[in-house]
Structure 1
Amino acid sequence: MIVTESEFEYNQGPPEEAQQNESAQSVQPSPSTGMLEPPSYIDVIGTRSSASRRHPGHSRDRSQAPSTSHASAGGASGSAQDHWNSAAQGPITYKFVTQSFNSMLLKYEPADLPLYHISTYMNCFIPSSYITVIRRGDSEAGDFVGQFEMGISVKKSTIMIGGKEKVTDAVLSKNQHKAVRTWLWRWHNDENTHLSWTYDSPVKYCYRRAKPGSPEPPLLASYTPPPLVPRDGRPSPAPSLKVYPDGQPLFDHILVSALVIERKRLTPSSAGPLMSWSV
C-alpha cells in the first residue's frame, strides 16, 4: 500500500497544542471580512485539528432552502421535517454506517434518519468489476438514485443517473491546470450543477465549479474518509459527509461524485494501467 504524505499526517493526528474544545466546532464568521471558513477536521468528525489545515474563507448563502426532492427517504415524517428545517439553517453532518457485508447507509444520526442506501455487487460476467447502487431510504426497495461500475475490465467504467448511462471519463475529470488536485464533475450542461472537489487535504471539499472571472464559488459539502492505516489500536472514526445549505439541492450529485472519486482514489496506483478509466 502506498501512503501519501497527507494520509500519513492524517493518521498520525495533529499536534497536542492544536486541541480545541467543543465550542470551537462551530464555524464563525471573521470579524474583518464577514467570510466563513470551510469546516476543519474538528468540524466534521469532532476530533483534534491543526489550524494550519484550514482553507481560505468562502461565503455561504444561508437563505437558500434545501431541495425536497429526496424527502421521501425512510424514517418518520417528523424526523424528516426536522432534518430539512435544520438544513435551511446551516450545514448538516451525515455518517456512513455499515449495514451488511455489501451495503451501508448514509444517515442523519440525530434523528436516526437513513437518507440513502448504498450497496455493491460483483458483475457476474466480469468478476473483477463491481457495481455500486445508490437508492433512497434504508433498503434496496428505495427509489433508484444512480449507480456506477468500475473494475479491471475491457468494459468502460460507466455512471448511470436518471435513466441515462455515461462513460465515467466524460463526467469526471482531473484538473491539471492548478497547483491543487481538483476533480471536476459535470453531468448536465447547466454550469450551475457542475461540481469541483479539492483533494489536497485529509478533508475533501466540494464547491460549485468556478466560472472564469466570477467570485469564489460557495462551499457545498465536505467529505472526511476513514484513515487508510491502523491508528495504534484506536477505533477509526466513521466516514462522514457534511452538506451545506447551498449543497442540499445537489445532494444526489454530491454523494454519487464523492463515491466515484473515492473508488478512484483508493484503487492502487500499480493497477492503474489495467483499469479501463484514466487516473
Structure 2
Amino acid sequence: MDSHIDIATDEHARSDSPVSSLLPDYSRHNRPVNPISYSFTNWGNNFMLLVPPSNAPESEPSYKISVSLNLNPFLPISFVTKVEMVLTEDRSEDVFVGEFEVSLNQTRGVLTMIGAPTRLSNVLSGVDTSRGHWLWTHANVQLRWDCRTRLEDGSPMCVCYGLDRLSSQLATFVPPPVLASPPLPAAIFTVFPDGHEFFEHILMSMLVVQRKMTMLL
C-alpha cells in the first residue's frame, strides 16, 4: 500500500512500520564555517533533488523530494510530499526523513517526522494572522518563517529564524515567482552555519510553508 494511503487510513501504523526504524536523529550535518546554498534539480518523474554545491564537504547529503496525490475516496483529495535522504554507498535504500499531507481545501493536514503522525495544525501555526508568517514547533525544535517581504519579481523572501534569545537567522528561501512568465528562475535555499543543526526541520518546514503559500494563490 502506498505510504500516503497509510497516513490517510491509519495514522498510527507508521510508528510500527519499517520506516520508523529509519527515522534519523536530525544531526547528520556538521556545522560549516560559511553559509551553504543548495540547488534544486528540475522537476521530473514526480520528484526533484536538493543537492549541495560541488565544493561542499563530501559528507553533505542530498535529498529526494517527491509528491503524489492521495485519492482515498473517504478523505479530501490531498498532496503528499515525502523527503528522503538520497542513497549513499554504504546504505541499501534511501532514508526516510519526513512526509506531510495537505488537502486541496487545506481542511486536513498530517505530518510524519520523528515518531507517530500528528496533525499539521499541531506543528505549524500562523503568526499575527499574517499569510506569510509562520511558527514551526516539533520535537523540541522551534522555528519562525517570515515570508512577508516581496522581491521585485514578486518572489517572497522567506527567512527562517530560531526562537532562541537572539532569534538568530538560520536559513533563507526564495522560491520562483509562480505567477511570472516562464522560464522561471531557480529556487534559492541557503542554510547558515547555525542552521545545519536543524537542517531537516528547516527543510521540512520550508516545504510545508511553500505548499501552503502556493495553495493560497
Aligned: 1:207 with 2:161: yes
Aligned to 2:99: 147
1:264 and 1:68 map into 2 onto residues whose CA distance is 24
Q: Where does 1:189-268 land on structure 2 (aligned, <5 Å)? A: 190=140, 193-201=141-149, 202-210=156-164, 214=165, 216-231=166-181, 235-268=183-216
Q: TM-score, normalised by structure 1?
A: 0.57
Q: Which has the higher strand share?
A: 2
Give how far 1:114 is off: 5.7
Conservation of the 8 A alpha-carbon contact between 2:26 and 2:199:
no
The 1:154/1:239 distance shift into structure 2, 3 A limit, reads: closer
2:190 and 2:170 map into 1 onto residues whose CA distance is 9
| Residue type of the alignment partner of 1:173 | S
Question: How big is each residue's C-alpha offset from its partner over 1:102-124, in whole Å with a ceiling of 9 and x where there is no partner?
Answer: 10000113259761101011114
Aligned: 1:109 with 2:53: yes
Please provide the CA RMSD for this pair.
Answer: 2.9
Give how far 1:237 is off: 1.7
1:116 and 1:249 map into 2 onto residues whose CA distance is 16
Aligned to 2:134: 183
The 1:129/1:245 distance shift into structure 2, 3 A limit, reads: same
Give how far 1:217 is off: 1.3
2:131 and 2:179 map into 1 onto residues whose CA distance is 24
Question: How big is each residue's C-alpha offset from its partner over 1:183-211, in whole Å with a ceiling of 9 and x where there is no partner?
Answer: 000002x3xx200010111310000025x
For 2:203, what is the secondary structure of its paired residue? helix
Aligned: 1:88 with 2:32: yes
109-118 or 145-154, which moves further after superposition?
Answer: 109-118
| Residue type of the alignment partner of 1:151 | S
Aligned to 2:109: 157
Give how far 1:98 is off: 2.3
Give how far 1:153 is off: 6.7
Q: Which has the higher helix share?
A: 1
Give how far 1:68 is off: 8.2
Structure 2 unaligned spans of 5+:
1-24, 150-155
2:106 and 2:167 map into 1 onto residues whose CA distance is 38
For 1:241, what is the secondary structure of its paired residue? strand
2:39 and 2:99 map into 1 onto residues whose CA distance is 20
Give how far 1:137 is off: 1.3
1:242 and 1:168 map into 2 onto residues whose CA distance is 24
For 1:200, what is the secondary structure of its paired residue? strand
Give how far 1:268 is off: 3.5
Give how far 1:176 is off: 1.1
Aligned to 2:28: 70
For 2:208, what is the secondary structure of its paired residue? helix
Conservation of the 8 A alpha-carbon contact between 1:184 and 1:194:
yes
Question: How big is each residue's C-alpha offset from its partner over 1:54-76, in whole Å with a ceiling of 9 and x where there is no partner?
Answer: xxxxxxxxxxxxx98336xxxxx
The 1:227/1:99 distance shift into structure 2, 3 A limit, reads: closer
| Residue type of the alignment partner of 2:84 | R
Structure 1 unaligned spans of 5+:
1-66, 72-83, 270-279
1:250 and 1:257 map into 2 onto residues whose CA distance is 11
Conservation of the 8 A alpha-carbon contact between 1:105 and 1:138:
no
For 1:104, what is the secondary structure of its paired residue? strand
- Percent identity over the alignment? 31
Aligned to 2:120: 168
